[in-house]
Structure 1
Amino acid sequence: MSTHQGLPEQAPTAADVRGIIAKRDLVVDLIRTACVVLVVFVHITMVGVAADEGGLRVTSPLQELPWYVAATWIGQVMPLFFVVGGFASAVGWRSTVARSGADGSPARDWVATRLVRLYRPAVPLFVVLALGLGVATAVGTPPELLAEVAFGIGSPLWFLAAYGITQCCVPFMVRLHERAPWRTLGVLLLLAGAVDAVRLATGTAEVGLLNLGPVWLFAQQLGFLWADGWFARRPKVLLLAVAAAAYALLVPMTSIGLWAPDMLQDLNPPMLPLAFLAIAQACLVQLVHAPLTRLMRTRAALGTVFVLGRDGMTIYLWHLPLFIALNGVALLLGAPFPEPGSGVWWATRPVALVVLLAVSLGIARALRWFDRPLPRLVPTTDRPAWPVVAVAAVCTIGPAFLVMQAHLSFGVAVVGAVGVPIGVWLLSRTAPARSVRQI
């Protein structure tokens, strides 16, 4: 979720702006940042805290609104994020191949650099979660309350597992895309439908976890098409028709009781409707690509995206723990809490968003050391061998997958606090290049 590559480290000058625009599609950065901010905003509107004579109450005002389900067809932006991730991955993979040389392994270089970039910011989070849940357990926090809080804090961590899996698959999936792009998309769509069919027929929810592959890889493949310029070459009328058809197909799909019309319910495990949502969103983005490009030529938009986007992963990982902590501090200080769902409560949501983003950015600055990318390989070095990379991938992706399956707990947090640093350390090591080893 970061926009490091190609962006200046200081406030952008006019020359910087021209240089950046010439090098990259800034709409990608805008969408990434907007998706993160929207996710944060949705979460703070789904948690309403009230403190009165009856004690502490937690409600979900957003989900109580009559138009909430319909809004998820627009506000569920995770399919679009994986599309955008596919675009960035295609560009990044080609760059990795170009600089790998004859003696290097671009696939190992890619997997190592992407997993470290994704999981290194998660190291302090898992450590803090393990310490916090351990202390809360030791002081006798009611297990039911602790489980509810841990569930809320851990809910966004599914993304680490899903995105980590898709990033590991990029070298192979790009190869499939180059050979048979439409056949690959069709197979992924069929696999997603087959997984859902088995899950629904057997009633075994765990089967749905298999769709972490087909659904999100399908969205990623659409991003590959975007990077190829396929969407840009299509007439706007066709893009609009495809988007309308995708949404039209969602109507019967979500009306027969097999899939929920609430697109957030279809998220974990991911289900087939999200693939059609990805199609619609990819087409709609291309329809507004020109005005978004003009927007990103303004210093205000570029500066905002730079400030928020470069710390996007840290903001995403920390916003819920920080939101819960800020509410706890406000309760201890006796701050007034407006009735959740009231006019005053909704009026304070933009303020809550700004405060939470500001605190998250402060945490990101304090933890900047953990947001370092791996340095590029020198000609005489290579990434660790595949068995080491595989072990490291399990160490990093595994804890997030456990959160998806068993929810966050003290034990799972400890696994993450131990496993993720080990995985990042393994991936950060280098080995002699093949030509050096042969000598």
Structure 2
Amino acid sequence: MVPQQRTAGGPAPTPDRDPVIDLARFFCLTLVVVGHILMVSPVLHPDGTVTSENTLGNQHWFEPVVWVLQIMPLFFVAGGITGLQSWRRLRARGGTASDFMQIRLLRLIRPAAVLLAVMFTGLSLALLRGVDPQVIQLLTSGAGMPLWFLAAYLAAQLNLPWLAALHGRAPWLTLAGLISLVVAVDCLRGILPELAYLNMVFVWCAVQQLGFIVADNPAFRPGRPALLGIVVASNMLLGLLVLLGLYSGNMLVNLNPPNLTLVLLGISQAAALQFLRPWLSRIASLARVRRFVGVAGRRSMTVYLWHLPLLAAMSGVLLLTDFPQPAGGTAGWWWGRPLVLLAVIALLMPIVALFGRLEDRPTAPGPAPGRPAAAVLLAAVAVFVPAVNAALNGLTLGLLGGGAACFALAVVLLGRVPARLTTPAGRTGGSEPPLPHPPLSANVEP
């Protein structure tokens, strides 16, 4: 796919999107939502205490399954593919790394700021009305998972401009350097456990770098037998590391903090994406599929941020009623999962209608200067302080309120995006910034 040519005197058209990447992201998001519904299981004990059990994660048979279905690395591979091309297009329009950070931050934190504000307000009122504090804490923890992903994804994306520069000079050396940092942290985490959280940056930047290589490095476009060999080899190496006792075989345990196993899964999933591309392309090219996936993709962050808090809220409300509560893992619990999924989808529909537009990029109505780099950096700090705190220590009601205030401050600091950074310049005789060669044209993210 290549950008369409512009007609004389007409506006520049939007470049074609890669439907395979859209479909892969939709698959990942669907798997995350379904997985959380199969995991979250609040329990009301006879003494009145409330806990939340990871029902699916506690099943021994699930460990080999989650090895296959742990698709978080694929999110970052796709983010590397799309992010690299978005950065190149922005730079061709005269944008800077600060502009890229501004756009990325706004894209992700505007929906999150509203989520935190709504949750803090609603849970504070519930606490004042006498709802048990343990139920409040159960509901509060529902936003913790989305926040850790937000912190990790932003860390990778905000480092993208300079990592892209290194990739342009030495792609494989850059990837090897990041993987070396991951291994070094894994080796030292037994001595200084706190160091393990550095891999929240190193692991996901390394996986994002795989997306760079998939996007425009011919060396990573081998034939299908070689791609299958990469999938097999990376999983065999991963299995060997697990058999040696160096890492857990449970990929949920390996997720937080992340380690080398997630990089190996990222290599496997990047190769699998390319191996399956011909079939995925045929599915994604169907008009109905492309239309549905396109609509869902434009509101994916809203769905991701809200689905777990809504699931936790629904579970918490049910604990306050006499509605039957089958024990986690029983036949009744399993039969009830489809109903829970339908209920979460029903709750998400009005949320997407109300808040989905916050994912659209706020563009200044007229000529506007870019934001000062200091304001963008301060906004990034305001976002990372509560997000990292929540990822490390868990989310509390107080941190929820502080996070809402910090995110709102960041949105104010970032302001609106200058129009020159969102539409191609009306120049004649010029050309659009290049996309990767077919069939790897990347999606220019909003």
Residues 117 and 404 of structure 2 are in contact (CA less than 8 Å); yes or no, is this contact kept in structure 1?
yes
Residues 109 and 382 of structure 1 are in contact (CA less than 8 Å); yes or no, is this contact kept in structure 2?
no
Deviates more, 1:145-154 or 1:296-305: 145-154
Q: 1:399 aligns with which of 379, 386, 393?
A: 386
| Counterpart residue number, 1:313 | 301
Cα distance, 1:257 vs structure 2:
3.4
Q: Identity of aligned pairs, percent?
A: 37
Distance (whole Å) between structure 1 residues aligned to residue 130 and residue 248 of structure 2: 38
Cα distance, 1:372 vs structure 2:
2.6
Q: 2:413 aligns with which of 426, 431, 435?
A: 426
How does the TM-score come out when normalised to structure 2? 0.84
Cα distance, 1:92 vs structure 2:
0.8
Note if 1:69 corresponds to 2:63.
yes
Distance (whole Å) between structure 2 residues aligned to residue 216 and residue 52 of structure 1: 38
Q: Aligned with 2:323: secondary structure?
A: coil
Matches within 5 A, 1:121-160: 121-139=111-129, 143-160=133-150
Distance (whole Å) between structure 1 residues aligned to residue 331 and residue 278 of structure 2: 36
Deviates more, 1:50-59 or 1:26-35: 50-59
Cα distance, 1:360 vs structure 2:
1.4
Distance (whole Å) between structure 1 residues aligned to residue 104 and residue 380 of structure 2: 11
Structure 1 counterpart of 2:26, one-letter code: T
Distance (whole Å) between structure 2 residues aligned to residue 121 and residue 133 of structure 1: 18
Q: 1:118 aligns with which of 102, 108, 118?
A: 108
Note if 1:303 corresponds to 2:291.
yes
| Counterpart residue number, 1:11 | none
Q: Deviations over 1:187-244 (max 9, x none)?
A: 0000011111111233x2x211111221101111111112115377311111111111
Residues 116 and 373 of structure 1 are in contact (CA less than 8 Å); yes or no, is this contact kept in structure 2?
yes
Note if 1:235 corresponds to 2:223.
yes
Change (3 A) 1:208 1:52: closer
Structure 1 counterpart of 2:370, one-letter code: R
Deviates more, 1:364-373 or 1:184-193: 364-373
Change (3 A) 1:35 1:430: closer
Cα distance, 1:431 vs structure 2:
8.7
Q: 2:36 aligns with which of 40, 43, 46?
A: 43
5+ residue gaps, structure 1, are 1-5, 7-18, 434-439
Q: 2:245 aligns with which of 253, 257, 265?
A: 257
Matches within 5 A, 1:8-27: 23-27=16-20
Cα distance, 1:377 vs structure 2:
9.0
| Counterpart residue number, 2:163 | 173
Residues 395 and 419 of structure 1 are in contact (CA less than 8 Å); yes or no, is this contact kept in structure 2?
yes
Distance (whole Å) between structure 2 residues aligned to residue 176 and residue 256 of structure 1: 34
Q: 1:335 aligns with which of 320, 323, 340?
A: 323
Provide the aligned C-alpha RMSD in A.
2.7
Change (3 A) 1:311 1:432: closer
Cα distance, 1:85 vs structure 2:
0.4
Matches within 5 A, 1:357-396: 357-375=345-363, 381-396=368-383
Distance (whole Å) between structure 2 residues aligned to residue 150 and residue 118 of structure 1: 20
Deviates more, 1:231-240 or 1:50-59: 50-59
Residues 116 and 424 of structure 1 are in contact (CA less than 8 Å); yes or no, is this contact kept in structure 2?
yes
Residues 383 and 427 of structure 1 are in contact (CA less than 8 Å); yes or no, is this contact kept in structure 2?
no
5+ residue gaps, structure 2, are 4-12, 421-446
Note if 1:93 corresponds to 2:83.
no
Distance (whole Å) between structure 2 residues aligned to residue 210 and residue 431 of structure 1: 34
Residues 247 and 276 of structure 1 are in contact (CA less than 8 Å); yes or no, is this contact kept in structure 2?
yes
The total of aligned residue pairs comes to 408
Q: 2:396 aligns with which of 397, 409, 416?
A: 409
